[in-house]
């Protein structure tokens, strides 16, 4: 029974083993099929080639270019086509697409010149149609330092000498014609006393002017020569000569104080000159004032020790001190007695020391630069300088003017004259008379500054307004008195903005140097002014010769009408030139909008320039913008048409003749209506063919990549299936090995059982 069971088990395992072996054979067969498929895929992959992109050099074509109006143009096609027009090709050329844009550019120093001419003999017209209106810009007056003068009229009969009286309330000394000078008496006061309100002796010695550290040079002294009047002629310049008036002791005392102790001895201890004369006199503070040649002794005797001569240049207010440097009390020889002056009148430089001082500074005066004196009371400017000094402080300060001179009608004496309370003839500027104005705000639109009363902390300000009767300009004068008592005059200009019209048309004043040809020379003598009333183009219109004096300015009338009837009218025929080209004024309705948007047509005028060949003025070269009311001004801007490219090309069809060279290439092209151009041969990429080839390359590349992807996908699937079969085969092998092991064990058991059975039965 046991044997039968083992045999049954053995048979069952044998059957199972056979089944596993069969299944293994099937799996191997499937794997072989998969391997064949993979090999086929790999073989097909090897047979595939990678697509290559097209090469540009394989797609080149011949090209011809030429230059037209600064642009590079390409001949894109040419087709032989004979025609009756004399041209044998139909062509198409490509050029950059552009349009003309009016563009502005800065200008520098570009001016317009005009050739003016009058085309008829002139005719007399009435003056009532001429009007002048003036306006003033109140917002920005201009600070000016004009050539301004104040006219002060003085009569020769009004001379006042150095007679003074003390004012007991102020302690100051003032000139008075009712007091005569007393040379040696206590009632005499010098010019210095009167100007400074105190005696020279009251000035501290250290504060008195000192002697110059250096004497005048020998070259300067050599220009001096004694004249027949006993004075010195000083030829200090090629065309300029001064007279140095000799002063005696009493004259020196009248100017600087001091005491005349004898006919020619001057005690300077109480004089303003003490600091100058200290080392020139003796210990008794006296000097001998020489006459004519530096010595008080006539004849053969020389100058003595302490001998000094004084001279004054009245016109220039210079004061001279001449010290005799070799003077001695005891004359020992003829050589020692040599005169200061040589026989020819020259000064012996070795015998003197000459000092020069500014007399006005010594007396504490300043020159009045802006005041002119009229000695004839006829408002004709005289040759006398006017000097001034300010008295008081703050708002109490006042200014007094003085004139120096020589009284040639009596004793040839020096006089000193105050110009206070004499005729004030007003101000002039650049020789033009000024008229004082009131109510400038009401009449002229100028807001007047208010006067400011000064005190210890602020300046005193007085404002006055004047009108130039010649130009119409308005001037503001501010007289400033500082808290320290300094007086100054500050001028501001409100320039007249004039608008001259004729029959309500703007009239331009023409400088005489630019008067049109054809105007009678009889007018060019300063008696007439030329006004131009242009037509719209500026090349025509009328010129008007207006007699000077037709227009006059007064205090109130701010719109002046010409009253003269002698006004001559000429027809105008003008030619403009700008930057070397003929120019015309552009009428307002034809000014390009680009310029109108940038400039006000009421303030600016626009010119267009043209080539000489452009006789109908149809094609402007440039536009220029100028200020409308200033014919001498530079252009503020210019405009010209410039090419503006769109970035695209345009194709143009045309008829042409083409010349072919010996190589069969095009060499020259004559385009109908455009001209003849030299052709440049070259090659360029045929974009269309190249792009087509590249599109084919991209298609083939996509197809190749798709097939490769498919092969990769199929190969991956086969590999996955083979892996599954491999796992199944490993499982069968494992099971087969186990069955084989078990079969071998059963076979041993069966063999043992058989052997045992045969042993039992064969025993």
Rounded Cα distance between 448 and 136, Å, is 13
pLDDT at 327 over 80: no
User: In this structure, is residue 743 part of a structural domain?
Assistant: yes
User: In this structure, is residue 465 part of a structural domain?
Assistant: no
Name the least confident of 41-50, 163-172, 335-344, 345-354. Answer: 163-172
Q: What is the predicted pLDDT for the residue at 512?
A: 84
CB count, 10 Å around CB of 79?
9
Domain identity same for 50 and 65: no
Domain identity same for 241 and 205: yes
Residue 611 tokens, joined: 């080539």
Cα torsion through 595, 596, 599, 600, rounded to 10: 160
The closest of 322, 424, 413, 404 to 363, measured between CA atoms, is 404
Which of 660, 682, 704 is the last residue before a domain boundary?
A: 682
CB count, 10 Å around CB of 692?
13
From residue 578, alpha-carbon distances to 53, 554, 609, 760 in Å are 63, 41, 7, 153
Structural domain of residue 235, as residue ranges? 201-362
Residue 247 bridge partners (DSSP): 310
Share of the chain residues as helix, strand and coil, in percent rounded to the nearest 5: 25, 35, 40
Local confidence band at 625 (pLDDT 50, 70, 90 cut-offs):
very high
User: 422-440 pLDDT, tens per residue?
Assistant: 555 677 887 777 888 888 8
Q: What is the predicted pLDDT for the residue at 171?
A: 38
User: 45-65 pLDDT, tens per residue?
Assistant: 888 888 899 888 888 888 999
Given a contact cutoff of 8 angstroms between Cβ atoms, the answer to whether 286 and 306 are in contact is: yes
pLDDT at 174 over 50: no
Given a contact cutoff of 8 angstroms between Cβ atoms, the answer to whether 572 and 541 are in contact is: yes
pLDDT at 258 over 80: yes
The closest of 595, 665, 580 to 626, measured between CA atoms, is 595
Which of 314, 333, 362 is the last residue before a domain boundary?
A: 362
User: 107-152 pLDDT, tens per residue?
Assistant: 888 998 888 888 777 888 877 777 888 888 888 788 887 777 776 6
When the pLDDT of each residue in the chain is averaged and rounded to a whole number, the result is 79
Given a contact cutoff of 8 angstroms between Cβ atoms, the answer to whether 735 and 79 are in contact is: no
- As to burial, measured by CB atoms within 10 angstroms (0-12 exposed, 13-18 middle, 19+ buried), residue 511 is exposed
Given a contact cutoff of 8 angstroms between Cβ atoms, the answer to whether 598 and 570 are in contact is: no
Q: What is the predicted pLDDT for the residue at 331?
A: 38
How many residues belong to the chain?
763
Q: What is the predicted pLDDT for the residue at 206?
A: 83
Given a contact cutoff of 8 angstroms between Cβ atoms, the answer to whether 322 and 354 are in contact is: yes
Which of 319, 337, 362 is the last residue before a domain boundary?
A: 362
Domain identity same for 223 and 320: yes
Q: What is the predicted pLDDT for the residue at 65?
A: 94
Domain identity same for 52 and 65: no
Q: Count of alpha carbons within 13 Å of 704, Cβ hemisphere only?
A: 13
pLDDT at 595 over 70: yes
Name the least confident of 34-43, 176-185, 406-415, 644-653. Answer: 176-185
Order of strands across the sheet that contains 371-374: 142-144, 487-494, 474-481, 460-468, 432-437, 423-429, 148-153, 371-374
Local confidence band at 457 (pLDDT 50, 70, 90 cut-offs):
confident
pLDDT at 75 over 90: yes
Domain identity same for 9 and 89: no
pLDDT at 308 over 70: yes
Mean pLDDT to the nearest integer, 442-458: 88
Q: What is the predicted pLDDT for the residue at 685?
A: 84
- What percentage of the chain has pLDDT greater than the value 70? 81
Q: What is the predicted pLDDT for the residue at 342?
A: 79
Given a contact cutoff of 8 angstroms between Cβ atoms, the answer to whether 574 and 115 are in contact is: yes
Mean pLDDT to the nearest integer, 463-490: 86
User: In this structure, is residue 498 part of a structural domain?
Assistant: no
Domain identity same for 657 and 753: no
Name the least confident of 2-16, 89-103, 259-273. Answer: 2-16
Most confident of 136-145, 291-300, 595-604: 595-604
Q: What is the predicted pLDDT for the residue at 660?
A: 92
Given a contact cutoff of 8 angstroms between Cβ atoms, the answer to whether 512 and 506 are in contact is: no
Given a contact cutoff of 8 angstroms between Cβ atoms, the answer to whether 462 and 451 are in contact is: yes
User: In this structure, is residue 243 part of a structural domain?
Assistant: yes
User: In this structure, is residue 122 part of a structural domain?
Assistant: no
Q: What is the predicted pLDDT for the residue at 239?
A: 66
Domain identity same for 655 and 752: no
Domain identity same for 212 and 352: yes
User: In this structure, is residue 634 part of a structural domain?
Assistant: no
pLDDT at 471 over 80: no
Name the least confident of 15-19, 80-84, 427-431. Answer: 427-431
User: In this structure, is residue 31 part of a structural domain?
Assistant: yes
Residue 640 tokens, joined: 């010209």
User: In this structure, is residue 556 part of a structural domain?
Assistant: no
The larger pLDDT score, comparing residue 159 to residue 84, is at 84
Domain identity same for 224 and 344: yes
Q: What is the predicted pLDDT for the residue at 678?
A: 94
Q: What is the predicted pLDDT for the residue at 177?
A: 32
Residue 179 tokens, joined: 């007091």
pLDDT at 493 over 80: yes
Order of strands across the sheet that contains 497-502: 123-125, 567-571, 541-547, 528-534, 505-510, 497-502, 130-135, 559-561
Given a contact cutoff of 8 angstroms between Cβ atoms, the answer to whether 346 and 326 are in contact is: no
Domain identity same for 741 and 657: no
Number of domains in the chain: 3
Q: What is the predicted pLDDT for the residue at 407?
A: 61
Q: What is the predicted pLDDT for the residue at 568?
A: 87
Domain identity same for 232 and 303: yes
Domain identity same for 254 and 319: yes
Q: What is the predicted pLDDT for the residue at 300?
A: 40
Rounded Cα distance between 266 and 216, Å, is 24
User: 688-723 pLDDT, tens per residue?
Assistant: 889 999 999 999 999 898 988 988 899 889 889 889
Local confidence band at 561 (pLDDT 50, 70, 90 cut-offs):
low
pLDDT at 671 over 90: yes
Rounded Cα distance between 38 and 725, Å, is 15
Q: What is the predicted pLDDT for the residue at 527?
A: 78
Local confidence band at 27 (pLDDT 50, 70, 90 cut-offs):
confident
- Rounded to the nearest angstrom, the gap between the alpha carbon of residue 585 and the centroid of all alpha carbons in its chain is 28
Mean pLDDT to the nearest integer, 569-583: 89
pLDDT at 421 over 60: no
- 3-class SS of residue 695: helix
Rounded Cα distance between 757 and 759, Å, is 5
**Residue 333 CB partners (closer than 8 Å, separation 6+):** none
Rounded Cα distance between 73 and 99, Å, is 16
């Amino acid at each position: 029974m046991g044997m039968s069971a083992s045999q049954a088990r053995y048979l069952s395992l044998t059957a199972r083993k056979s089944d596993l072996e069969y299944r293994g054979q099937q799996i191997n067969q499937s794997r072989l099929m998969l391997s064949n498929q993979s090999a086929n895929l790999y073989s097909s992959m090897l047979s595939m080639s990678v697509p290559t992109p097209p090469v540009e050099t394989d797609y080149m074509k011949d090209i011809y270019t030429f230059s037209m109006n600064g642009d590079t143009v390409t001949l894109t096609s040419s087709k032989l086509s004979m025609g009756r027009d004399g041209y044998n090709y139909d062509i198409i050329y490509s050029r950059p697409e552009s349009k003309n844009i009016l563009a502005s550019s800065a200008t520098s120093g570009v001016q317009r010149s005009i050739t003016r001419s009058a085309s008829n003999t002139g005719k007399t017209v009435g003056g009532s149609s001429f009007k002048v209106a003036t306006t003033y810009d109140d917002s920005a007056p201009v600070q000016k330092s004009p050539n301004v003068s104040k006219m002060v009229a003085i009569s020769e009969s009004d001379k006042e000498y150095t007679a003074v009286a003390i004012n007991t309330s102020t302690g100051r000394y003032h000139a008075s014609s009712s007091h005569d000078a007393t040379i040696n008496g206590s009632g005499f006061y010098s010019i210095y006393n009167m100007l400074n309100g105190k005696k020279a002796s009251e000035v501290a010695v250290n504060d008195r002017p000192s002697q110059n550290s250096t004497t005048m040079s020998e070259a300067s002294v050599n220009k001096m020569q004694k004249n027949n009047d006993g004075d010195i002629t000083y030829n200090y310049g090629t065309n300029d000569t001064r007279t140095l008036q000799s002063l005696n002791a009493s004259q020196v005392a009248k100017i600087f104080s001091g005491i005349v102790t004898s006919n020619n001895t001057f005690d300077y201890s109480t004089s303003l000159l003490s600091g100058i004369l200290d080392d020139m006199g003796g210990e008794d503070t006296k000097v001998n004032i020489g006459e004519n040649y530096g010595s008080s002794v006539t004849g053969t005797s020389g100058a003595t020790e302490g001998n000094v001569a004084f001279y004054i240049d009245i016109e220039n207010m210079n004061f001279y001190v001449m010290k005799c440097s070799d003077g001695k009390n005891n004359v020992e020889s003829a050589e020692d007695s040599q005169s200061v002056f040589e026989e020819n009148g020259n000064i012996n430089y070795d015998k003197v020391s000459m000092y020069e001082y500014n007399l006005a500074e010594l007396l504490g005066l300043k020159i009045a630069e802006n005041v002119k004196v009229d000695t004839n009371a006829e408002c004709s400017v005289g040759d006398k300088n006017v000097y001034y000094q300010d008295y008081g402080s703050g708002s109490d300060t006042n200014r007094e003017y003085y004139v120096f001179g020589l009284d040639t009608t009596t004793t040839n004496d020096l006089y000193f004259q105050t110009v206070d309370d004499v005729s004030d003839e007003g101000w002039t500027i650049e020789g033009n008379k000024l008229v004082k104005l009131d109510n400038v705000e009401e009449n002229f639109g100028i807001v007047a500054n208010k006067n400011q009363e000064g005190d210890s902390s602020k300046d005193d300000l007085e404002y006055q307004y004047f009108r130039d009767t010649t130009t119409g300009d308005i001037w503001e004068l501010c007289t400033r008195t500082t808290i320290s008592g300094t007086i100054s005059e500050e001028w501001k200009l409100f320039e007249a903005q004039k608008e001259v019209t004729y029959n309500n048309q703007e009239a331009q004043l023409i400088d005489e140097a630019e008067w049109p040809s054809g105007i009678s020379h009889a007018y060019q003598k300063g008696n007439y002014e030329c006004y131009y009333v242009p037509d719209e183009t500026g090349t025509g219109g009328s010129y008007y010769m207006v007699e000077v004096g037709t227009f006059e300015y007064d205090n109130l009338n701010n719109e002046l009408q010409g009253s003269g009837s002698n006004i001559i009218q000429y027809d105008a025929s003008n030619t403009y030139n700008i930057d070397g080209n003929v120019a015309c004024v552009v009428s307002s309705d034809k000014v390009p909008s680009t310029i109108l948007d940038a400039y006000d047509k009421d303030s600016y005028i626009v010119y267009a320039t043209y080539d000489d060949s452009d006789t109908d003025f149809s094609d402007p070269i440039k536009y220029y913008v100028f200020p409308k009311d200033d014919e001498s001004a530079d252009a503020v801007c210019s405009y010209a048409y410039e090419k503006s490219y769109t970035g695209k090309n345009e194709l143009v069809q045309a008829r042409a003749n083409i010349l072919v060279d010996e190589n069969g290439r095009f060499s020259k092209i004559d385009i109908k209506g455009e001209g003849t151009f030299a052709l440049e041969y070259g090659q360029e990429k045929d974009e269309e063919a190249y792009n087509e080839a590249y599109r084919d390359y991209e298609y083939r590349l996509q197809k190749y990549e798709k097939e490769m992807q498919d092969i990769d996908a199929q190969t991956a699937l086969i590999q996955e299936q083979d892996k599954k079969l491999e796992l199944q085969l490993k499982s069968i092998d494992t099971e087969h090995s186990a069955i084989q092991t078990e079969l071998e064990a059963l076979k041993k058991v069966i063999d043992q059982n058989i052997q045992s059975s045969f042993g039992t039965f064969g025993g």
